[in-house]
């Protein structure tokens, strides 16, 4: 009906994150601009302390972005050419690229079909003498089963790592993402739960030696300017992004709480809708609800109908890493070998969620999803009858 009178509900409203905190963010900006110091300075140091404390980790090292955080972790642990790293088959490609960047080989594992996270029961059959690490991803904001993965890693002598890029503030058994493994990589890409206004990332770890190594690696392999101990990298966090992130850490819990409220509305309102599969959260996990991902057998149709209602959605992710041209070298041997991951990729759809989506808009999204799903169900029934 009068759809032209409806307001757009964007998938994510990033500008609203600025508007809510404008005064403090503007102050942070002026403080940095007037300081005359722009890369790796007092703002970065303060941010590193504050983020380590928030996560309950001993160390935090600010770096350029999430991909670099993971890459530098692998380098710091001496993982490289000839080594294998176990990764989820269904993740954002950055997880795999970090392993490739380090010169090692990503070895994909199928997900648990309920939580979408790496399935611990499928890990051991993939361990070879070359396996060095398990790199778990806390996908969509839900922590992976770190109890089971820790048990395997300890027993088999492997490093356990987290890709925590989607899980700021999420917990497993009450412990925060970032403090659940030997080292964790965070991204602060603008759309993440804790987002900068540009690229930014960090590593958290309780390991003194690894923290020290990552500090050296991020800055040209140098401790003292123009003295290069190693062939390092340039992956430094800048003062402006650090100052911005410091404004946002204190509101992260409240913003995550708002996400949870939206998730609760969807879970309640959509609990009995034909064809629709809702997220399942393990009782040991507290999700940061980075994304609210449903499955639908006619995903593209559902997305189109929501778009007609001015509701923005996204697909995380349309193509699994092993089917990307970037990994075509694996294609012939891996295609079709990950039926669970491939099935999920064909069906997932992310509904709008974020700290600035109103309760009313979430209810409107839920209504539209329900209506579209019933329509699609009745269309396919009448098709069968005909």
Ligand X SMILES: *Cc1c(COP(=O)(O)O)cnc(C)c1O
Among 77, 92, 289, 292, binds ligand X (CB under 6 A): 92
For the bound state, the minimum distance from the C-beta of residue 366 to ligand X, rounded and expressed in Å, comes to 25
Of 92 and 101, the one with the shorter C-beta distance to ligand X is 92
Among 117, 145, 166, 219, binds ligand X (CB under 6 A): 166
- Residue 77 within binding range of ligand X, rule CB under 6 A: no
Of 189 and 338, the one with the shorter C-beta distance to ligand X is 189
Q: How many residues bind ligand X (CB under 6 A)?
A: 15
Interactions with ligand X, residue window 183-202 (CB under 6 A): 187, 189, 199, 201
- Residue 137 within binding range of ligand X, rule CB under 6 A: yes
Of 69 and 179, the one with the shorter C-beta distance to ligand X is 69
Closest of 112, 179, 178, 167 to residue 142, by C-alpha: 167
- Residue 88 within binding range of ligand X, rule CB under 6 A: no
Among 86, 136, 158, 165, binds ligand X (CB under 6 A): 165
Helix axes 42-55, 22-35, angle to 10 degrees: 140
- Residue 163 within binding range of ligand X, rule CB under 6 A: yes
Q: What's the CA gap between 296 and 202, in Å, rounded? A: 35
For the bound state, the minimum distance from the C-beta of residue 35 to ligand X, rounded and expressed in Å, comes to 25
Of 91 and 171, the one with the shorter C-beta distance to ligand X is 91
- Residue 177 within binding range of ligand X, rule CB under 6 A: no
For the bound state, the minimum distance from the C-beta of residue 73 to ligand X, rounded and expressed in Å, comes to 12
Say how many CA atoms lie within 13 Å of 277 toward its Cβ. 16
For the bound state, the minimum distance from the C-beta of residue 244 to ligand X, rounded and expressed in Å, comes to 15
Helix axes 359-385, 299-308, angle to 10 degrees: 130
- Residue 233 within binding range of ligand X, rule CB under 6 A: no
For the bound state, the minimum distance from the C-beta of residue 67 to ligand X, rounded and expressed in Å, comes to 4
Residues that bind ligand X (CB under 6 A): 65-67, 91-92, 94-95, 137, 163, 165-166, 187, 189, 199, 201
């Amino acid at each position: 009906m009068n759809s032209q009178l409806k307001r757009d509900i964007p998938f994510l409203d990033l500008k609203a994150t600025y508007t809510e905190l404008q005064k403090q963010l503007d102050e942070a900006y002026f403080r940095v601009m007037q300081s005359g110091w722009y890369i790796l300075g007092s703002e970065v140091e303060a941010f590193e302390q504050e983020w380590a404390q928030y996560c309950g980790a001993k160390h935090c090292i600010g770096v350029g972005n999430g991909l670099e955080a993971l890459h530098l972790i692998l380098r710091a642990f001496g993982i490289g050419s000839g080594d294998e790293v176990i990764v989820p088959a269904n993740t954002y490609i950055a997880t795999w690229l970090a392993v490739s960047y380090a010169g090692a080989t990503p070895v994909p594992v199928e997900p648990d079909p309920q939580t979408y996270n790496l399935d611990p029961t499928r890990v051991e059959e993939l361990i070879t003498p070359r396996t060095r690490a398990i790199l778990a991803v806390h996908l969509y904001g839900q922590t992976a089963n770190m109890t089971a993965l820790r048990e395997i890693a300890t027993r088999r002598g492997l490093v356990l790592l987290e890709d925590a890029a989607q899980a700021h503030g999420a917990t497993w058994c009450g412990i925060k993402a970032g403090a659940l493994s030997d080292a964790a990589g965070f991204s602060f890409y603008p759309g993440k739960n804790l987002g900068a206004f540009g690229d930014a990332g960090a590593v958290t770890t309780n390991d003194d030696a690894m923290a020290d190594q990552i500090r050296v690696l991020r800055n040209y392999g140098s401790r003292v300017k123009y003295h290069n101990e190693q062939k390092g990298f340039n992956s430094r966090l800048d003062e402006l992004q650090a100052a911005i992130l410091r404004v946002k850490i204190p509101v992260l819990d409240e913003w995550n709480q708002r996400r949870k409220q939206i998730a609760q509305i969807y879970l309640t309102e959509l609990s009995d809708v034909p064809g629709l599969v809702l997220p399942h959260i393990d009782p040991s996990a507290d999700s940061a609800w980075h994304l609210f991902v449903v499955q639908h057998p006619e995903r593209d149709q559902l997305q189109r109908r929501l778009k007609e209602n001015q509701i923005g959605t996204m697909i995380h992710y349309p193509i699994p890493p092993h089917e990307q041209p970037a990994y075509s070298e694996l294609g012939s041997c891996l295609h079709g070998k990950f039926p669970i991951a491939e099935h999920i990729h064909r069906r997932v759809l992310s509904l709008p969620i974020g700290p600035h989506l109103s309760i009313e808009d979430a209810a409107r999204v839920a209504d539209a999803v329900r209506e579209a799903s019933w329509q699609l169900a009745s269309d396919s029934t009448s098709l069968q009858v005909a």
